Chain A
Amino acid sequence: MTALAALEQLVVEFRGGGRVLRALDEVSLVIAPGESLGVVGESGSGKSTLARALLGLVAADRGRVLFGGADLATLGGAELRRLRRRMAIIFQNPAASFDPRQTIGDSVGEPLAVHEPALARAARRARVAALLERTGLDPALAARRPHELSGGPCQRAAIARAMIASPQLVVCDEAVSALDVSVQAQIVNLLLELRRENGVALLFISHNLAVVRRLASRVLVLYRGRVVEVAPREALYAAPRHPYTRLLLDSVPSLVPAASQAPRVPPETASPFARDRGCAFVARCPFAIRRCAEVAPPLETVAPGQAVACLRWREGVATRCA
């Protein structure tokens, strides 16, 4: 398997007011062509930073970001722009991701205008109209401005923009989180269909585990900038190995009240600036032992395609109470 994109021991830090916030802490991941990888974690876990680093929108402080075998940091401006034809991003807030002064059609067609400047305007319009139709929109919407569209149609247009230059990787950063639940399902289905048709790889970032379950064949769990667990979808949802994954799964609201009897976990209180010597989750972990506060758990491969960063994974602490 040759990787389409990869992060290698990536560290991204933000500095301000003399403090350093480590948003990503030695994160490694590999995305295969056509794969769909989910990334979950709570707010502030570094999900969006991971998306932006993968697209070269934020610079790596250490480690490497590879796309198609090329290290993004070593590319010149023009080379990086050319590479960007092969990737795209869909943001959480569809209305904000369109220029308020441009028509939807111009925004959707912009990647084409940049990467295929030889294409005549009429041909570009036709491609935009065809793709708008494919994403379930009336091609006449091309003449509208973003504020005239509501969330669902706007996100469909954002998907059209992401797909128009036929990328190999589309990063969806909370792409359905701001939408109505009924609209969410439609957008998720659209993404699944487009993935099947075009063989595009998806990196789907969300705090909503139910949505990730529909979309991703492999899931990566981030906690405070660290990968705590990576697993194939079935393994992760059936038998989580990390206590934090357990917590996330138990936090999914259920219509059956007594379904979850997981131990109560205190909310996040630690400052994002604090660096922990041991496991980042130690303060909230119901299974923490003394060693957890002293030793940072390495990400260990526990099964084919499955890795977890927990000192007590062998005891199955997170899996057992399922």
Chain B
Amino acid sequence: MRLAWPARAALVVLGVVLALALLGPLASPWHAEQLDWQRMAVAPGLDGAHWLGTDRLGRDLFVRSLEGVRVSLAIAGLATLVSLVLGVGYGAIAGYAGGRVDALMMRAVDVFYSLPYVFFVILLTVVLERRPATVFLAIGAVGWLTMARVVRGETRRLREREFIEAAVAAGVPAPTILWRHVVPNLAGPVLVYATLTVPGLILLESFLSFLGLGVQEPAASLGNLLAQGAQEMEAAPWMLLVPCSFLIATVLALGFLGEGLRDALDPHEL
């Protein structure tokens, strides 16, 4: 497998962002919720080691943005993992079973799809506490639906292949066929789709947090940093630009990586 250059560049960007998110805060003397009473809303510079400036309360934006990247990536990554397990399991069973079972299972997915999503999340955040776990639950509940559709379609295609028929003819039980022949052969499209799901879910998390439905202060996520930054946009543009740059870099890099993987893992070469 060989990735095209945009995907390789994206891999480098992603590596840098991840390394920064994990190690960067250690380099700064500040931590995410620490207030610097002497330096509120200062612009990026070397003053007090606030390299990317501070927010209205004097919190270090470098550390807070990286904290936000960590939280957003963790939520999106976990939700993708959940959607992977649920979506692959559900989709593969529906696709392999076919007929009435398939129709019934996929109509259930259609029903979930048609629920007004934001309304569903608001309900969830009202009923449950507003914690990252709630956001994660809300995103995970929806993320697996598309994955289930992708996997179901892919499985229908695989089911027509001769090697599956050969396994059936050899008397291999259906669960074994699913686990040993169907799921491994789904790896390509599933990997690509998962890589493309992460940025979508980061944006979704940011959107929810921006609306105040997601991660709550004083915890940082890219979404609520953007929300605060937007309020000070005219007086202190760096408060918006700093978290925004991290968001764009991460989402774009994941997007390019997914595209690159899709090209590299062209099903015809699998």
Contact = CB atoms under 8 A, between A and B. Distances in A.
B166 A89 contact: yes
B171 A81 contact: yes
B99 to A, nearest CB: 11
B146 interface: no
Interface size class of B (residues with CB under 8 A): 10 to 19
A81 B174 CA distance: 10
27 contacts: A77-B173, A82-B171, A87-B169, A88-B169, A88-B170, A89-B166, A91-B162, A96-B161, A96-B163, A97-B163, A97-B165, A98-B166, A99-B167, A99-B180, A99-B181, A99-B184, A99-B185, A100-B185, A100-B270, A101-B187, A110-B170, A111-B170, A114-B171, A114-B172, A114-B173, A115-B171, A161-B170
Given A99-B180, A102-B181, 6 more contacts: A55-B169, A81-B173, A84-B169, A98-B166, A100-B185, A114-B173
Interface residues of A, number: 29
Contacts of A100: 163, 185, 270
Contact of B185 (A55, A101, A107, A110): A101
Interface string A73-95: 00001001111110111010100
Interface string A108-119: 001100110000
B186 to A, nearest CB: 10
Contacts of A161: 166, 170
Given A96-B161, A100-B185, A101-B185, A57 B169 contact: yes
Interface of A: 52, 55, 57, 77, 80-85, 87-89, 91, 93, 96-102, 107, 110-111, 114-115, 161, 165
Nearest to A173: B162
B136 to A, nearest CB: 32
Interface of B: 161-163, 165-173, 176, 180-181, 184-185, 187, 270
Best-surrounded residue of B161, B170, B187 (most CB of chain A within 10 A): B170
Prevailing SS type, chain B contact patch: helix
